[in-house]
Chain A
Amino acid sequence: MVDLEKLRTVAKETISRDDIKYLIGWRQGTYGFRVSPCFVREPGEAEQLIYSPLCTNNLASYLIAMDKPPLPRGEKPDTRKVAVMVKGCDSRAVVQQMAEKGLEREELYIIGCPCEGVLDLKKVEAKFPHLLDPVTVQWNKDKIIFQLPEGAEEVPREEVLAQECLSCRDPNPVLADIMLGEEVQVWGNGEYQDVQEMEAKSVEERWSFWEDRFSSCIRCYSCRNVCPMCYCEDCVLDRLNPTWVYRSSNISENTAYHLARAFHLAGRCVECGECERVCPVDIPIMKLNKKLAKEVEEKYEFRPGLDPEAKPLQSSYRPDDKEDFIL
């Protein structure tokens, strides 16, 4: 359990340091259960920080893909550290970014937040609809407590937790400069149950499933943009000359988009589930990512984002890698 007082004290101390540019954390959103990422630059602003089961956003996304506006002539870039609050999965994204040399350790000050699972807002808002005033939510062992206008309500954790969190193996940050609170006990076994269910279907059934889901894609790119591992400066999907994927939204181009996105995350996806969370048309994107994660884990005994010194999967070779699947 993270104590809010402690969080705000640590944040204040952090942001008061001369070598910190800003701190990225979470704050209460504008209504109901919403939470928004926030950038704290002044010690006084630390008061707005929160940490709760509603803090779904993986803030590691902001470390790497921020727009870099051109600097006015003569002005030097601000190279001070960025402080960032990370849950278990978020920390894996940071580690993987470092392993890929996208980030240097010295650029960061990492505030670790042990996590007991974040909520699926779609489930929560279906359960408690039409709430305008901000709602406070807390973890309490296997329950989630909602401080609703009519009083506190306890809900079993598995009813409202995000799908990815139910089988989470890494609730504790794997890397941090300072930890807020005690480590939590791991509850998930990392099983790939939904992947196995999909694998059990025939090719026709699987294609008809994905055809239906990909048809609804509006190509807003929120899944790509939110992903902490999608940080190419020049994305293949934005290319116009040559145009690898047409801008048209149809089953052919949408499929090309989703497969390109998923394949580029093979051995890199940290399974935070942000892509699926932000999809406005509810495409079950994690089923693709988890299939690739399962293949990578089974075939190469590799899970990304656990060791900043580890070589990325695609640039490593072990003589004893399995070969039984190579044609």
Chain B
Amino acid sequence: MERMKLGKEKLGDFFAKLGNKQIYAPQKVGETLRFAPVAPEDELDLEFSNTTVPPKSVLFPQTETLYRYDLGSTDLNLPEDEVERVLFGVRPCDARAMSIVDHLFSWDFDDPYYLSKREKTTIIGLACLEPEVNCFCTSVGGGPASTEGLDLLFTDLGEAFLLQPLTEKGEKLCREAEDVLEQATGEEGASAEKLQQAAAEKIVRGVETNGIAEKLPKIWDSPLWQDVSEACLGCGTCTFLCPTCYCFDIQDEAEGLEGRRCRVWDSCMFSEYTLHASGHNPRPTVRERTRNRVNHKYSYFVEKFGIIACVGCGRCINLCPVNIDILNILSEVIKEEAI
């Protein structure tokens, strides 16, 4: 399909054309930017570098009911069928993250909760033109206009958006909204590419990831793990806000005679995460937990699925209360002598 153009003033009209689909876009909840349902008439502020909470929270909600039950009955009430959704304004790094997380949720068992949402969701990306200081997508196989995981990519041309349909889903969306779209000219296409290229050049941080997956197991006992983790508070900020972290716990919540089984985000940085019933904890300190976080993203996941489970969004660096910086850790890993 050809590239299309949408006047910015027509964004609401574009949403209105999308029928019954529930549209999610970056919205302030409290003081925080995250993906939340919007109506076509809502004003959107798209001057964000990235949302604090990644869009994984829509497909893999922090709290998700698996089923409800009543005491004394063997009937389980499953959640209703998923609605069709459109995620608008997803940064390319976060979209890549979803395609990375797909590996896990369709690996040894097809996770019906995640996959049915994924199937019914169309993802509209917004090319990143002003990367933040801690963005390093280009080091881990992405880029400010990477299309992986996206169905449709928007690029902000100032007065209008350039639309680049990427999948069948994206093309379908463009056909539904064709009344408000125009054909983009070759010139407009070229200027979008120029902006995207300029954005990639604005990325200032990075790391050489070649060989890291093989190096990590060889420095398992290195003192570097204590050095880089000692200040860690053991909070869940880096993992909860990571677009590729997917760990969850399953809990039963009962009140009176009713209850539900739900899954909730969990974090490998919590000491409780690996605590055995015996009281033994195989990852007893922040040293082991930090080592696991880095190994999981840069070694185990690579070994299992052939891809690094990090998209370089920079959230864990920006939001760590004590400046534990994954780029710094990785550069130490590279320098370290294999044991």
Contact = CB atoms under 8 A, between A and B. Distances in A.
Interface string A56-77: 0100011000010110000000
A212 B30 contact: yes
A213 B285 contact: no
Contacts of B265: 218, 249
A69 B133 CA distance: 36
Given A36-B323, A61-B233, A216-B34, A31 B286 contact: no
A247 B249 contact: yes
B106 interface: no
B231 A246 contact: no
Contact of B264 (A32, A62, A222, A247): A247
Interface residues of A, number: 48
Contact of B31 (A38, A246, A282): A282
Interface stretch (A82-90, A176-184, A193-201, A273-281): A273-281
22 contacts: A37-B231, A37-B322, A212-B29, A213-B30, A215-B30, A216-B32, A217-B30, A218-B53, A218-B241, A224-B235, A225-B234, A226-B321, A247-B63, A248-B63, A248-B264, A249-B264, A277-B321, A278-B235, A280-B32, A280-B241, A282-B30, A282-B31
Interface string A201-223: 00000000000111111111110
B133 A132 contact: yes
Contacts of A250: 63
A222 B134 contact: no
A36 B251 contact: no
Interface centre among B231, B264, B324 (most CB of A within 10 A): B231
Given A216-B30, A249-B62, A249-B264, A131 B133 contact: yes
A130 interface: yes
B31 A249 contact: no
A69 B280 CA distance: 11
Nearest to A210: B30
Closest 4 CB pairs between A and B? A216-B30, A222-B235, A278-B321, A282-B31
B63 A249 contact: yes
Contact of A36 (B234, B235, B240, B322): B322
A283 B52 CA distance: 13
A191 interface: no
Contacts of B231: 36-39, 57, 62
Nearest to B236: A220
A117 B167 CA distance: 54
B262 A248 contact: yes
Interface-centre pick from B267, B317, B323, B328 (highest chain A CB count, 10 A)? B323
A149 to B, nearest CB: 13
Contacts of A62: 231
A163 to B, nearest CB: 14
A222 B52 CA distance: 15
Contacts of B324: 36
Interface residues of B, number: 45
A19 interface: no
Contacts of A221: 235-236, 270
Nearest to B284: A69
B201 to A, nearest CB: 14
A67 B284 contact: yes
Among B32, B205, B264: residue with most chain A CB under 10 A:
B32
Interface string A250-288: 100000000000000000000000100110111100000
A81 interface: no
B236 A32 contact: no
Interface of A: 29-32, 34-39, 57, 61-62, 67, 69-70, 129-132, 212-222, 224-226, 238, 243, 246-250, 274, 277-278, 280-283
Contacts of A36: 231, 322-324
A37 B227 CA distance: 11
Interface string B192-206: 000000000000110
B44 interface: no
Contacts of B32: 216, 280-282
A37 B233 CA distance: 11
Contact of A29 (B230, B272, B323): B323
Given A132-B133, A248-B63, A215 B235 contact: no
Contacts of B204: 132
B251 A246 contact: yes
B78 interface: no
Nearest to B241: A280
A67 B62 contact: no
A29 B321 CA distance: 11
Interface string B237-271: 10011000000010101000000001011010011
Interface in B104-142: 132-134
Contact of B323 (A34, A130, A247): A34
B188 interface: no
Interface in B41-82: 52-53, 62-63
B133 A222 contact: no
B319 interface: yes
A213 B31 contact: yes
A278 B62 CA distance: 20
A218 B230 CA distance: 24
Interface string B131-157: 011100000000000000000000000
Given A218-B241, A238-B272, A282-B31, A226 B264 contact: no
B271 A218 contact: no
Contacts of B286: 67
